[in-house]
Amino acid sequence: MTADDTIGPTIADLPIQATGMPRHNTRGCRTVKQTACLLWFIMALASLPPAVLAQENAATQVIIGTVSGQLDAPDAFSPFQEYLAQALPGYTFEISGFASIEGLMLAVENESLDFAFISPAAYVELTIDGNLRLLSTITQPVGHTHSPWLAGAVFTLDSRNDIETMVDVRGKRVVALSEIALGGWMSALREWRDLGININAEFASLDFVFSYSEVVDRVCSGQADIGVIAANTLPKYQEQCNAPLRVLPQPGISQNISYDIPHSTRLYPEVALVMVGNQDEEFIRSFTSALLAIEQDSTVAQSVNVSGFTAPLPYDEVRAMMEELRLGPWRRLGRMPLQQLLLNNIFLVTLALILLLALILGGFINAQRLSRRFQESERYRKLLFESSHIPMVVVDPKTDTFLDMNPAAVKLYGYRHKNDLVNRHVTFVSDPEKEYTSEVEEEMARTQQEALQNGHATFDWPHIRPNGESWIANIHLMSFDSPSGKLIQATVEDITQRRQNEKERQDLEQQLAFSQRMESIGRLAGGIAHDFNNLLTIINGYCEVLLLEMGSSKSEKILQQIRKAGIRASELTKQLLTFSRRQAIRQVPVNVNRIIRESSEIIRSVLGDNIRLKLDLLPGSCTVLSDPGQLQQVLINLVVNAKDTMPDGGVLEITTASTFVTPRNAQGLEIAAGEYIEIRVRDNGLGMSPGILQHIFEPFFTTKDNSGTGLGLSTVYGIVQQSLGTISVTSTEGEGSEFQVLLPKSKEAETRQEAEATPASPGLVDSGTILVVEDQVEVLDYVTSVLRESGYQVHTATSGSAAQAAMADLSEPVHLLITDVVMEGMSGGELAEIFSERYQGIPVLFISGYPGDELARYGVRQGMHEFLAKPFTPQQLLERVNQILKNLRVTG
């Protein structure tokens, strides 16, 4: 058999419609008389005993028609005939070869055959009037695969530079296989019609020769410019040509990747194997099963010039093409008005209607009977596969191609129909970012092997939809047996959102761990600062006292150095308190852009000449609630940090913008939702590793060896946190870093803190009685000595209860109570309340080395009570005491 054109397998339902017996004894009954004879013969057969029928069937001969160029070698079909005879005991099979498609069609119309291999176009034409039943579609080799589809190849000599695409056919000599050959003419004609080419007017000539070899020879010898044959046959005949051939593409149309040889047209179903007339249903089932069981490229298949058989494909596309081109039965369509056509043939039309109604009624009754058999099995298939809401696909493990998929899978993959994916390689739906390397191929093979051996396997794989959307699929493979061997069914689940939720959960856990770590460090920093402040009060205080008593000497210089070190230590404690968010700050409305502009000169001097400063500030209001000085400190610290990462120079960019934080984002950032001013400080320096980024805001963490304290960025962190904002950093080694600060936007007008002229200091009040309460003896001695040196009468106590006893023993009035806040037993706040109740009008000055939020726990609020933070100098203590006593005398 010579197939017109061919290609590879798909899953389709096998239509089962007709009944009857093999037709070897009914051939020739054509008239009503013959039909009556046939009915009598069937009734006679039905009345025979089973033994007689079995004897008759043992010699039943079945005739199969085909178009063949091997009429001189009938034994070439023997493997196919012998295979069918073994698969269907009691039947013998004869191959009847025809020299042309037209000859085979005539034999089918006369019903002188039982089965026939019919080209797609001939099948469509014969189904208009003939009693045919489609049983199977053949497959043919296409490149490295086998396919039940065919396409046309419009080809020319590769040396023809004047012919590049199918459009270049104008004015050329064309030779094709046959007017009714789908791949050899019709498919190409359809494409030329779509391209607007009139073959009758624009071809130089058009010839048909029913021989693949002669079509190729005419092009190779120069007798024709362009040839048209089936695409899958051209590589075989290319060998007989003395020059290379080239398949012409259609402009703007890409090749179908599932059909991996060059072709010029769209794809159509291959040659059909059909049943002629009516035959026994059980025989047809057995015959069809035997065909589908033939292995690809086996000797049996090759003996009839095919590579194998598959379930029948729909030939609707071929029918639509023939109607569109007015070919076959549609040649005269439209030439005569339908009304006139009916009037001219009223008798035939009436008879046809009667026969049609009879056929419909008979077909309906027959279909009802067959559907009852089919519905039960079909119901289970639909429940388990088609109607399932779980996306499922069937994959051939030998080729890694999709064989079938249910609607849920088609929807999940983002396509409209499963035909868009059937016969495609599984990597067609893979994300292109996941390159199909040898490692990926090995991973897929390993997973499939696991599924084939153990029955199942699970893995995740990145996918992409036609709209470009990437997603992650969890795939569960399950193997099952089929007539063609082991297949794999996979359930597919989109786990993209699950992956995203898991990542967000991990990010939140990391943020929580960081917050808890910073909180613990902050508490430690606050406690250290308190004890350190007590020590610094003594060190710095006595340094000041000694400096006041000494003249110019070497000892004075030493004391000056000690004093400077003490002041520096005091600044470090303030930074610790700022980091721990326990240092009270003065929050006022301040314009971020003004702070940046006013600091630009300082910033440029810090950066030096080899680093360029670039400002991109948001026009309009950029007001936040913050401490102007500390906001400037944030900016300077970030600039200094950036400078250290650009030893060879670079660009530092500071930008401001307005942004809105959504409730969902606010939860992850640990801030309130709302409008924020964003400050970004970006450099193109050395960048930071992930290990450094993890600890960047922790106190005492530094990358500057011994040249840094490690409190710069931790101070920035504390200031931003106290301003109810957040700070984050992103960095890539070798590319630079970017710090992002978010501060809540304020609707209040900016408060400008202008410097006021300092009034002349009034004379010191150096008389009065003061009670000092301090549980640290060294601090108590220091405060007492400073006050007594200045002329004050001082009484002391080391606890709240001792202070009460001291007041009870005093005969003279007390003008001022100076007390520590945090003491063992009674706190300074509690002591102050008792004194306020018993001794009306006595002012209280609180002194403490603890941060502001700790003081609030003991009833002391800065701004509402007189407060002096440790460490303090003698001058600061005396000025505060003097001011309190002067106010007391003015109001008294």
pLDDT in tens, 581-596: 445 456 788 899 888 8
Length of the chain: 892
d(CA 272, CA 269): 8
Q: Cβ(819)–Cβ(746) under 8 Å?
A: no
Tell me whether residue 294 is exposed, middle or buried, using C-beta atoms within 10 angstroms of its C-beta: 0 to 12, 13 to 18, 19 or more: buried
What pLDDT is stored for residue 239 in this prediction? 85
pLDDT digits (tens, 9 = 90+) for 803-834: 888 888 887 888 899 998 888 888 888 888 88
Higher pLDDT pick, 542 / 677 = 677
Tell me whether residue 790 is exposed, middle or buried, using C-beta atoms within 10 angstroms of its C-beta: 0 to 12, 13 to 18, 19 or more: middle
Kindly indicate the confidence band of residue 205, based on its pLDDT and cuts at 50, 70 and 90: very high
Mean pLDDT across the stretch 755-767?
46
Q: Is the pLDDT of residue 852 over 80?
A: no
pLDDT digits (tens, 9 = 90+) for 400-454: 888 888 898 899 899 988 888 888 888 888 876 665 556 666 777 787 788 777 7
Omega before 871 within 30 of 0, i.e. cis: yes
What pLDDT is stored for residue 750 in this prediction? 63
Mean pLDDT across the stretch 303-326?
88
What pLDDT is stored for residue 762 in this prediction? 43
pTM score, two decimals?
0.37
List the one residue out of 641, 630, 639 whose CA is nearest residue 595.
630
List the one residue out of 15, 11, 30, 482 whose CA is nearest residue 281.
15
What pLDDT is stored for residue 603 in this prediction? 82
Strand 173-176 relative to strand 149-150, pairing: unpaired
Mean pLDDT across the stretch 845-856?
71
Kindly indicate the confidence band of residue 214, based on its pLDDT and cuts at 50, 70 and 90: very high
What pLDDT is stored for residue 32 in this prediction? 39
Single-letter amino acid code for the residue at 790 = S
Mean pLDDT across the stretch 188-195?
91
Kindly indicate the confidence band of residue 278, based on its pLDDT and cuts at 50, 70 and 90: confident
Strand 769-773 relative to strand 793-797, pairing: parallel
Mean pLDDT across the stretch 99-109?
87
Q: What is the largest CA-CA distance in the chain?
A: 151
What pLDDT is stored for residue 515 in this prediction? 63
Single-letter amino acid code for the residue at 677 = I
Range with the poorest average pLDDT among 71-75, 107-111, 684-688, 863-867: 71-75
Token pair of 812, please? 């003279």
What pLDDT is stored for residue 6 in this prediction? 34
Enumerate domains of the chain plus CATH numbers.
Answer: 32-145+271-330 (3.40.190.10), 152-266 (3.40.190.10), 392-494 (3.30.450.20), 588-744 (3.30.565.10), 769-891 (3.40.50.2300)
Mean pLDDT across the stretch 749-765?
46
Q: Cβ(536)–Cβ(871) under 8 Å?
A: yes
Range with the poorest average pLDDT among 190-199, 351-360, 529-538: 529-538
The alpha carbon of 272 is separated from its chain's Cα centroid by a whole number of angstroms, namely: 43
Q: Is the pLDDT of residue 207 over 90?
A: yes
d(CA 775, CA 756): 39
Kindly indicate the confidence band of residue 225, based on its pLDDT and cuts at 50, 70 and 90: very high
Q: Cβ(156)–Cβ(173) under 8 Å?
A: no
Give percent above pLDDT 90 in the chain.
18
d(CA 290, CA 284): 10
Mean pLDDT across the stretch 384-388?
76
SS3 for 804?
Answer: helix
Q: Is the pLDDT of residue 549 over 80?
A: no
What pLDDT is stored for residue 581 in this prediction? 45
The alpha carbon of 110 is separated from its chain's Cα centroid by a whole number of angstroms, namely: 60
DSSP letter (8 states) at residue 430: B
What pLDDT is stored for residue 604 in this prediction? 83
Mean pLDDT across the stretch 631-657?
87
Kindly indicate the confidence band of residue 28, based on its pLDDT and cuts at 50, 70 and 90: very low
What pLDDT is stored for residue 253 in this prediction? 64
User: What are residue 35's phi and psi, to 5 degrees?
Assistant: -65, -40
Tell me whether residue 118 is exposed, middle or buried, using C-beta atoms within 10 angstroms of its C-beta: 0 to 12, 13 to 18, 19 or more: buried
pLDDT digits (tens, 9 = 90+) for 115-160: 999 989 889 888 876 778 899 999 988 887 888 999 999 999 999 9
What pLDDT is stored for residue 254 in this prediction? 66
Kindly indicate the confidence band of residue 36, based on its pLDDT and cuts at 50, 70 and 90: very low
What pLDDT is stored for residue 334 in this prediction? 53
CA atoms within 13 A on the CB side of 382: 7
d(CA 81, CA 468): 52
With a CB cutoff of 8 Å and minimum separation 6, the contacts of 272 are 117, 118, 119, 120, 123, 134, 135, 136, 137, 138, 312, 315
What pLDDT is stored for residue 739 in this prediction? 92
Q: Is the pLDDT of residue 655 over 90?
A: yes
Kindly indicate the confidence band of residue 753, based on its pLDDT and cuts at 50, 70 and 90: very low
The alpha carbon of 104 is separated from its chain's Cα centroid by a whole number of angstroms, namely: 55
User: What are residue 797's phi and psi, to 5 degrees?
Assistant: -155, 150
Q: Cβ(118)–Cβ(104) under 8 Å?
A: yes
Q: Cβ(629)–Cβ(574) under 8 Å?
A: no
What pLDDT is stored for residue 58 in this prediction? 53
Mean pLDDT across the stretch 453-460?
79
Kindly indicate the confidence band of residue 461, based on its pLDDT and cuts at 50, 70 and 90: confident
CB atoms near residue 656 (< 10 Å)? 18
Long-range contacts of 601-607 (CB under 8 A, 24+ apart): 602/636, 603/635, 603/636, 603/639, 603/652, 603/654, 606/636, 606/639, 606/640, 606/643, 607/639, 607/643, 607/652
What pLDDT is stored for residue 146 in this prediction? 85
